[in-house]
Amino acid sequence: MMEFAALTYGLLASIVLSAAQRNRKLARPHPPILFYVGYLMCGLSAGLVMILAYLAISSLLPG
């Protein structure tokens, strides 16, 4: 299950970044769905970082 999630996330990130690069190169505005998916992925990444940092710090503490 984790492999499927990682593959899906990587594929989605690749699509979003290539679409943003293409729009920037052609000097076109980004569609709203591109912004929404980008912000969603940014939020998911930040949340995952906080969860993993909490787990790493809590495993170092005694008790």
Residue 30 near residue 20, CB atoms below 8 Å: yes
d(CA 20, CA 29): 9
Q: Which domain holds residue 15?
A: 2-60
Mean pLDDT by 10 residues, the chain (63 residues): 92 95 95 94 95 95 79
- Does residue 9 contact residue 48 with C-beta atoms inside 8 Å? no
Q: What's the pLDDT score for residue 2?
A: 87
* DSSP 8-class letter at 26: T
Angle, helix 2-25 to helix 32-60, in steps of 10 degrees: 140
What is the count of structural domains for the chain? 1
**In the prediction, which pLDDT does 1 show?**
87
pLDDT at 63 (0 to 100): 67
Query: 9 with 41: CB under 8 angstroms?
Result: yes
Count the residues in the chain: 63
**pTM of the predicted model as reported, rounded to 2 decimal places:** 0.76
